[in-house]
Amino acid sequence: MAKINMFLYFLIIFMMIIPLFSLAPTYVDHICSNTTRFTTNSQYQTNLDTVFRYLSANTSNPFGFHAAQAGNGTQDFVYGHFLCRGDQVPSSCHECVTTATTTDLPKTYCPNRKDAIIWYDECMVRYSNESFFGVLDTQIVTNRANVQNVTGNVSQYMDIMGTMMNNIAIRAINGGPYKKYATGYARFSSLVGVYGLQQCTPDLSASYCDQCLLNGMELLPVSKGGTLLFSSCYVRFEAYPFFNDAANLTLSPPPPSLPSSTSSSNGKRNTSAKLIADILAAVVILLLAIVIILYIIIAKSKKEHVPVDGTGENFTTIDSLQYDLEILKSATNNFGIENKLGEGGFGSVYKGILPNGEVVAVKRLSRSSGQGANEFKNELLLLAKLQHRNLARLLGFCLSGEEKLLVYEFAPNKSLDNLLFDPITQDQINWRVRYNIIQGIARGMLYLHQDSRLRIIHRDLKASNILLDANMNPKISDFGMARIFGGDQTQSSTSRVVGTLLGSYGKKVSL
């Protein structure tokens, strides 16, 4: 009997390990343009092969994303990128991208096509003769539902799923410029849970990512699970853990032991029960070992690959928020006047384009604050943790010599005062848009005053401090700046104290 148990242990371990070495990607869907084709051995094919080589060679990127382009003119130019699902290890990412660029796209599904996209469970690869970097594309690649019925109250299940997916979307949108990805889990009953995953291509702005994920959530089917694949984002939920995020997985308790018996027939049942218990024990131990190994690999990868020129998904440490000065100079054309968006009480603001294509707003502070470097960094870390749809997102900072720079998400529709007082634009916004702006400002202020861990009273709320994203959603800016500047602004426009910080129980903290 011991020999049989040992054989079964090894058999189970062998069966569990095999999938770890099976790296073949799982094909889902593809789209190829029928109107744009290139001829074999043409310049376009040469440029496409070059882009494919660039993509395959950069799958070890810890953020699972890379964009490439090739060509000497506009006619035969090729743009391409890949996005691996956020939970994939580099080996599976490489296998997926390589399969797409060497066989599936050029030979199987889209031969001689100038525009194509292919989706797998593990990754997405896309190329075109027109640039799509940073462009929102909500063309549906596929919409599929889990046909199994929900056991229990369907309406309650969908409500729980909807709340969970909204929370996941917020974390994915605020994941930073390198990895807009998040997962989550919610309990429906003692035996059933709901698992969700959402991800955008990192070249999208936060507002574009928000719009793409919102479109996906609105189209999710009423079922036990569903998947929406867009050209720019990925939305999925299931009643089982379909992603490799160990932090969100829980193991079910083992089944209760079977009762013992002294009869000969029950003796055989006891032997079978013991055999089953041994098998379950081996499976649980093996799963625990796999979870621990994956957790160590992911933790080590995050520790070793913190970006030095931007923010990663984890900004619990101040180093993950720090940008390199040369990168910000290059992004703003050395703070050129043509990139200047405006000037306020705390300094000038410039438009910048980071190396990954993300557009940001860089605020160049007018003078040094009264704080030391460590205090300055700690204040920024606190402000960066304030996350709300109606707050201007602080992405990071740069502290180099006398230079103190703050990096924010970019608001393409500028500020509210520019919209309201410009004779050309003031008649273009109807009352519905105005109402939505007012409602968004109120939500943001409520968050600052009541719902955030650090309660902040703005005290300088005005139209010029309300920014508008691409969808005319308001973003409150310049909150908490008095902490950095010791309670005073720098320009002659105003000298009153702003941005009072309250303690967790509403007690005013001296600035």
Spatial distance between the Cα atoms of 465 and 429, rounded to a whole number of angstroms: 18
Q: How many CB atoms lie within 10 A of CB 319?
A: 11
Whole-Å CA distances, 300 to 106, 290, 376, 413: 36, 15, 29, 40
Q: What angle do CA 153, 156, 162 make, to 5 degrees?
A: 140
Spatial distance between the Cα atoms of 472 and 370, rounded to a whole number of angstroms: 36
Asked if 148 contacts 224 with a C-beta cutoff of 8 angstroms, the reply is: yes
What is the DSSP-derived secondary structure letter of residue 229? E
Q: Partners of 228 in the beta sheet?
A: 143, 235
| Dihedrals phi, psi of 397, to nearest 5 degrees | -155, 170
Spatial distance between the Cα atoms of 162 and 114, rounded to a whole number of angstroms: 38
What is the DSSP-derived secondary structure letter of residue 246? G
**Dihedral angle of Cα 360, 365, 366, 372, to the nearest 10 degrees:** -170
Rg of the chain taking only CA atoms, in angstroms: 27
Can you list the pairs that 34-37 forms with residues at least 24 positions away whose Cβ atoms lie under 8 Å?
A: 34/113, 36/113, 36/114, 36/115, 36/129, 37/112, 37/113, 37/114
| Dihedrals phi, psi of 301, to nearest 5 degrees | -65, -40
Decide if 460 is catalytic: yes
Check 245, 460, 469, 478 and give the catalytic one.
460
Spatial distance between the Cα atoms of 359 and 354, rounded to a whole number of angstroms: 6
| Dihedrals phi, psi of 80, to nearest 5 degrees | -155, 155
Spatial distance between the Cα atoms of 247 and 183, rounded to a whole number of angstroms: 10
- The alpha carbon of residue 214 and the mean position of all alpha carbons in its chain are separated, in whole angstroms, by 14
Spatial distance between the Cα atoms of 406 and 399, rounded to a whole number of angstroms: 9
DSSP run (H or E) holding 44: helix 43-57
Q: What's the token pair of residue 354?
A: 């980071």
Nearest Cα to Cα of residue 393 among 356, 355, 363, 435: 363
- Catalytic residue numbers read 460
